Each structure stands twice: as structure tokens, then as C-alpha cells.
């Protein structure tokens, strides 16, 4: 498990909250039974308006899953974290890159309480 100071935890939470608020202003957010945040794939792609090549690449990296919404309609959903990461590549969310960089900066300073596994 990662060891985070209270300051690092607050920094990451603030950055994720800022990104989630930006996204929620444009796309509905859902939660599954386990509490995982989910974002509908097609409205997300329509909102971020990525270049065609980048969108095709993003589609290979995302982990969409089919979910049935409360009103019985099925929709492809992606985890909230993956959706937030896409915001940094969209010209419609100019502040997103700064938030992703805040998260990355905290993540680079984090120490783990177990040694890294080596590939043999």
C-alpha cells in the first residue's frame, strides 16, 4: 500500500475533485454497487472531442463495460479515473493538465511500504 502524508492526500483529493467537477458539468456520472465511479463512454468522447487518431488510441486503452442504468437502458461505461485522465488531452478542458500534473507530482514522491517486485 502507498504511504501518503496528510498533505499529499489533500493535494491528490483536491486535484481529483477539480477534474471530477469539470467532467460532471458536461457528462453524467454514475456509481456501481461497489462504489466505483463510471462515465458513459460515448458522451465522454463527444465532450472531449479528441483528434481521430488519439481517440482510436484511447479506445484501445480504456476499459469499457456494459452497464444497465436504473431506467433499463444499457450503456458502455468507463471508470471515472480513466475518464478524468482523458480530460488532459482535450482542448475543451485547459485546466485539466495542471490537475493531472498535481496528481502525478504527488505520486512520484510516494514511497511504498513493500519493496518493488523485479521482472526476471
- Tens digit of pLDDT at every position of the chain (120 positions): 567 788 888 888 888 888 889 899 999 999 888 888 899 999 999 999 988 998 898 888 888 999 888 778 888 999 998 898 888 888 888 888 888 787 777 655 544 443 333 333
| Reported pTM | 0.75
Q: What b-and-e string marks burial along 63-81, b requiring 16 or more CB atoms within 10 Å of the CB?
A: ebeeeeeeeeeebebbbbe
Instruction: Look at residue 105 in the predicted model and tell me its pLDDT.
Output: 75
CA distance 36 to 41: 15
Grid coordinates belonging to 32: 456501481
DSSP state of 42: H
Grid coordinates belonging to 16: 481529483
Instruction: Look at residue 33 in the predicted model and tell me its pLDDT.
Output: 83
CA distance 20 to 13: 10
Cβ neighbours of residue 62 under 8 Å, at least 6 residues apart? 41, 78, 82
DSSP state of 104: H
The CB density around residue 11, as the number of other CB atoms within 10 Å, is: 16
Amino acid at each position: 500500500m502507498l504511504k501518503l502524508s496528510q498533505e499529499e492526500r489533500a493535494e491528490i483529493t483536491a486535484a481529483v475533485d477539480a477534474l471530477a467537477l469539470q467532467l460532471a458539468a458536461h457528462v453524467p456520472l454514475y456509481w456501481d454497487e461497489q462504489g466505483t465511479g463510471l462515465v458513459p463512454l460515448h458522451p465522454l468522447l463527444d465532450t472531449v472531442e479528441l483528434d481521430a487518431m488519439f481517440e482510436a488510441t484511447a479506445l484501445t486503452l480504456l476499459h469499457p463495460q456494459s452497464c444497465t442504468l436504473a431506467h433499463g437502458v444499457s450503456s458502455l461505461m468507463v471508470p471515472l479515473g480513466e475518464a478524468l485522465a482523458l480530460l488532459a488531452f482535450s482542448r475543451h478542458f485547459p485546466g485539466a493538465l495542471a490537475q493531472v500534473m498535481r496528481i502525478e507530482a504527488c505520486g512520484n514522491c510516494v514511497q511504498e511500504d513493500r519493496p518493488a517486485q523485479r521482472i526476471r
